[in-house]
Structure 1
Amino acid sequence: MARRYNVRVAQDQTPRPLPELWLLSDARNDAVLDEVLAQLPEQSGFIFRHYHLDPAQRRTRFQQLQEIARKRRHLVVVSGSPVLALKWGADGVYGPAEAMPHGGDLLKLATAHNAKEIVSADRTGADAILLSPVFSTASHPGAKPLGPVRFRLLARKAKAPVIALGGMNRDTAKRLGWPRWAAIDGLS
């Protein structure tokens, strides 16, 4: 059963299930993000990263994409500090477990690549864990992917729901048979 949580989504304070589909932003997919966000199924998730922009440009781009995402009732999470997420009006924060806030109303999405990082994410109270890379990916060229078997073994160790990331697209998600997944290029 999906974990339920309260997040600030515009004026809607109704508890919502954790989205199954997540789009991550990157310099590689920026040119198509407006269109892709508008076409994602309603109430999907969007993780804004855009590390390539300077702070002022990053905030402007976040606001543009957040407006599109809100029209489709997507959850909007920002990579950065909890203070930044609150200041920008995001629903949550994304990053390594050690950067996760304790308590508060922000949705906490922790990154993990191994068992130690999964345990750390669970200890910090992460609402979900993005476990990667499942398959080979342009984001981490040369990194050894977990593969379906190792991914499932690691995911079983997690207390929080796990979102598959790395080389994910509709075909690999079907092959993996995992309900929650995220992509950069695979949705763009």
Structure 2
Amino acid sequence: MSLDSEADRLWRAARALSEAAVTPHLPPLLFFTDPDRTPEPWIVAARLPVGAGVVYRGFGRPEAEAEAGRLRAVTRCAEVRLLIGKDADLAAAVEADGVHLPGSDTDRASDIRHRHPDWLITAAWHPARDPSPPNAKGLDALIASPAFMPGGRSSAPPLGAVGLATAVAASQLPVYALGGITARRAGDLVQSGACGIAAVDAIVSAWGAIRT
């Protein structure tokens, strides 16, 4: 299977989820960055389809502001939305499109929404550890993980397609699937009710090595 066909399959699956969940205001596909696994995330971000999104996770590193600014320039040109992990001040400084909050920070969503009414605000959710979904005022969507066995570190067991569908049914907010997503597994999620796909390795594999 070529890299181009892998990217096409992921994008088609993500759009199918978005259309079935009727969430046209949300990016169907979210690229999550990671300092170790995506050292140059702007390369991937520049190649993403129009309408996708990037969640930049700087984890408080000193180079976070410079990297976020570089991603903002790239995503603006690519017509891709940019969210900043946790740091609302950094998101405002680089004129990002929103923030992604850790599950422990969902109580900040209401205040962030008040200060930035047009932002997209998402939050992490680990249904295997906490079956009750966050329902904080101000949130637009949840990122449920791990959907499958992830490439990164996770202490929670994978949900699988059935477990993800159960999580989606329990949530009042749209839910993305994150963790262990591949082009093949993405197709298995179409009946889950998820609103889109979030990934690290699968997106790097599909878009990071495309030759233009």
With structure 1 as the length reference, what TM-score do the two structures score? 0.82
Select 1:91's aligned residue among 97, 101, 126: 97
SS at structure 1 position matched to 2:37? helix
Give the conservation status (yes or no) of the 8 Å contact 1:28–1:185.
no
Question: What is the rounded CA distance, in whole Å, between the counterparts of 2:84 and 2:95 in structure 1?
Answer: 9
Q: After superposition, what is the alpha-carbon deviation per residue over 1:9-36, rounded to whole angstroms, capped at 9, x for unaligned?
A: xxxxxxxx21101101102333452221
Give the conservation status (yes or no) of the 8 Å contact 2:32–2:55.
yes
AA aligned opposite 2:69: Q
User: How far off is 1:54 after superposition?
Assistant: 2.4
Partner of 2:166 in structure 1?
Answer: 153
Distance 1:32 1:170, change over 3 A: farther
Give the conservation status (yes or no) of the 8 Å contact 2:83–2:91.
yes
SS at structure 2 position matched to 1:123? coil
Partner of 2:26 in structure 1?
Answer: 18
SS at structure 1 position matched to 2:142? strand
Question: What is the rounded CA distance, in whole Å, between the counterparts of 1:117 and 1:63 in structure 2?
Answer: 35
Q: Identify the structure with the greater strand proportion.
A: 1
Partner of 2:37 in structure 1?
Answer: 29
Give the conservation status (yes or no) of the 8 Å contact 1:164–1:181.
yes
Select 2:200's aligned residue among 178, 184, 187: 184
Question: What is the rounded CA distance, in whole Å, between the counterparts of 2:65 and 2:202 in structure 1?
Answer: 25
SS at structure 1 position matched to 2:124? strand
Partner of 2:143 in structure 1?
Answer: 130
**Sequence identity (%):** 26
Partner of 2:6 in structure 1?
Answer: none
90-99 vs 41-50, which deviates more? Answer: 90-99
Partner of 2:109 in structure 1?
Answer: 100
Partner of 2:126 in structure 1?
Answer: 113
Question: What is the rounded CA distance, in whole Å, between the counterparts of 2:154 and 2:136 in structure 1?
Answer: 30
Partner of 1:40 in structure 2?
Answer: 48
Give the conservation status (yes or no) of the 8 Å contact 2:53–2:80.
yes
Q: After superposition, what is the alpha-carbon deviation per residue over 1:101-134, rounded to whole angstroms, capped at 9, x for unaligned?
A: 433322110111125551x2x2333101101100
SS at structure 2 position matched to 1:68? helix
SS at structure 2 position matched to 1:93? strand
5+ residue gaps, structure 2:
1-20, 205-212
With structure 2 as the length reference, what TM-score do the two structures score? 0.73
